[in-house]
Amino acid sequence: MNHEETETISRCQQGDQEALKEIYDKYHKKVYRIAYGVVRQREDALDIVQEVFIKLFRSIKNFKGRSHFYTYLYRMVMNTAIDHSRKVGKRFIQSLDEEGSFEPSDGVEKGPERILLQKELEERVKLAMDKLPAEQKAAIIFRDVEGLSYQEMAEAMGCSIGTVMSRLHYGRKRIQELLKDYVMLHDQSRGGQNSSKL
Amino acid sequence: MKDSCSSISRLLEKYFDQEPTDKERLLVESHLQDCTACKGALKSMEELRTAIKVPVEEALQKEDFPWVWQNIERQIRLQEKLTWWQSIRSWLDISPLFQRKVWIPAVATAAVLLFITTQIIFKNTSSYPGASVVEYVESETNNVMVYDLEKAKVTVIWLFEGPEEEALPS
């Protein structure tokens, strides 16, 4: 945390809204990225961004500077996003099992159909993410979306590096299991050209 | 997949996350040279990351955050105009002492003590608590009321100094 940021946080702790605006300008895209990673709905992600900065303004006095400010903020974002998705997210959660069988397109590697396949895969991944426990989901988003290091993740999640690695491992493994049937069909449709096991 | 793949799988994930030590990196790279299964596993992780990350990045690029800051400002302004009752509640929420609920037994004890003290004070100052009128006699000069105090076994005769208006015959 640099001196300028420390000074901004200190002003914000004294109730200075201009300081909050500076923090917002610096972090709102990162906050949105994490929020969107969890809820995957634009309006919900924007609601979370608002909620997080309002909460931050109210509770920033509790930030003692013992950790990085961004890990403190990211933890708040993740908790808010997970709470939000628990409250309203049920309507988005569909079961992979209940969705019916998916018929992949023929083995066309390029062009619109390839794009379609990619979109379908993304959709499948979203649904699989919803099946993960909150901690594993948070670990994957922090690492794969936000690119945090294990150390930063441990700080943001309030756990050890070993726990971070474990959450990542089991989360990824679970997603791969959930996507296994889809990928097998996908590979068959492409004549087994791709040995990827995703 | 080779036997050594199971021992390398955790390192493979560290390698993928760019977190291995130099020694671990060398070990993984040496293993990957002749293990197609682990190469495939690495590719799978990469594809999974892309599938998770790309939609988020696309959504972010399209986003212009309409009115988000304005809404935050408005919400903060609204919260500043709290009523006195909301202020108390908000203070109770914020105060670490009240959050810990340690005040509940103290308040309950204080309430009980207050109740007991009040009872004692009123008992001592009240002239005839629990007294009931057993007889009421009217006359032109005085009205007489006879009270019976059960506990004290005392009969009190109350003489009014003058006739009350409503006690006079019409």
Q: Please indicate whether, in this complex, the C-beta atoms of A129 and B52 are within 8 angstroms of each other.
A: yes
Whether A20 maps to a domain, the answer reads: yes
pLDDT tens digits, A84-135:
988 875 554 444 344 433 344 444 445 677 777 777 877 888 889 988 999 9
Nearest CA-CA distance, residue B104 and chain A, Å: 24
Whether A100 maps to a domain, the answer reads: no
Name every chain B residue with its beta carbon within 8 A of the beta carbon of A148: none
pLDDT tens digits, A127-159:
899 889 999 999 999 999 999 999 999 999 999
Contact criterion met (CB below 8 Å) for A142 and A148: yes
| Same domain as B49, residue B9 | yes
Whether A96 maps to a domain, the answer reads: no
Whether B169 maps to a domain, the answer reads: no
The angle formed by the CA atoms of residues A19, A24 and A25, to the nearest 5 degrees, is 100
Q: Please indicate whether, in this complex, the C-beta atoms of B60 and A141 are within 8 angstroms of each other.
A: no
Residue A193 confidence (pLDDT): 44
Residue A194's pLDDT band (cuts 50, 70, 90): very low
| Same domain as B116, residue B134 | no
Whether A107 maps to a domain, the answer reads: no
Residue A89 confidence (pLDDT): 56
- If one counts the domains in chain B, the total is 3
Whether A163 maps to a domain, the answer reads: yes
| Same domain as A118, residue A178 | yes
Cβ of residue A193 closer than 8 Å to a chain B Cβ: no
Last residue of a domain, one of A59, A91, A123: A91
| Same domain as B132, residue B118 | no
pLDDT tens digits, A153-181:
999 999 999 999 999 999 999 998 988 87
Residue A45's pLDDT band (cuts 50, 70, 90): very high
Cβ of residue B5 closer than 8 Å to a chain A Cβ: no
Contact criterion met (CB below 8 Å) for A63 and A69: yes
Mean pLDDT by 10 residues, chain B (170 residues): 75 94 94 92 90 92 93 89 67 60 82 88 58 67 66 58 52
Whether A49 maps to a domain, the answer reads: yes
| Same domain as A133, residue A171 | yes
| Same domain as A82, residue A16 | yes
- If one counts the domains in chain A, the total is 2
Contact criterion met (CB below 8 Å) for B51 and A125: yes
d(CA A155, CA A158): 5
Name every chain B residue with its beta carbon within 8 A of the beta carbon of A55: none
The whole-chain average pLDDT of chain A stands at: 83
Name every chain A residue with its beta carbon within 8 A of the beta carbon of B63: 32, 42, 46
| Same domain as A80, residue A31 | yes
| Same domain as A69, residue A31 | yes
Domain assignment of residue B80, given as a range: 69-124
In sequence order, what DSSP letters do the residues of A99-167 get, joined into one string?
T----PPPS--SSHHHHHHHHHHHHHHHHHHHTS-HHHHHHHIIIIIT---HHHHHHHHTS-HHHHHHH
Report the half-sphere exposure of B60 (CA within 13 A, side-chain side). Answer: 19
Q: What is the mean pLDDT of residues A40-44?
A: 91
Whether B168 maps to a domain, the answer reads: no
Q: Is A148 exposed, middle or buried (0-12, 13-18, 19+ CB in 10 A)?
A: buried
Using CA coordinates, name the residue in chain B closest to A18: B73
| Same domain as A64, residue A117 | no
| Same domain as B106, residue B136 | no
| Same domain as B105, residue B80 | yes
Whether B31 maps to a domain, the answer reads: yes
Name every chain B residue with its beta carbon within 8 A of the beta carbon of A43: none
What does each C-alpha distance from A55 to A21, A50, A129, A138, B30 come to in angstroms?
A: 14, 9, 26, 20, 49
What is the interface pTM, i.e. ipTM, of the complex?
0.79
Q: Please indicate whether, in this complex, the C-beta atoms of B52 and A37 are within 8 angstroms of each other.
A: yes
Domain assignment of residue A139, given as a range: 112-189
Contact criterion met (CB below 8 Å) for A5 and A14: no
Q: How far apart are the first and last CA of chain A?
A: 38
Whether B15 maps to a domain, the answer reads: yes
Who contacts A23 (Cβ-Cβ below 8 Å, separation ≥6)? A8, A9, A12, A53, A56
What's A139's domain CATH number?
1.10.10.10
Whether B170 maps to a domain, the answer reads: no
Using CA coordinates, name the residue in chain B closest to A40: B56
| Same domain as B120, residue B145 | no
| Same domain as B80, residue B51 | no
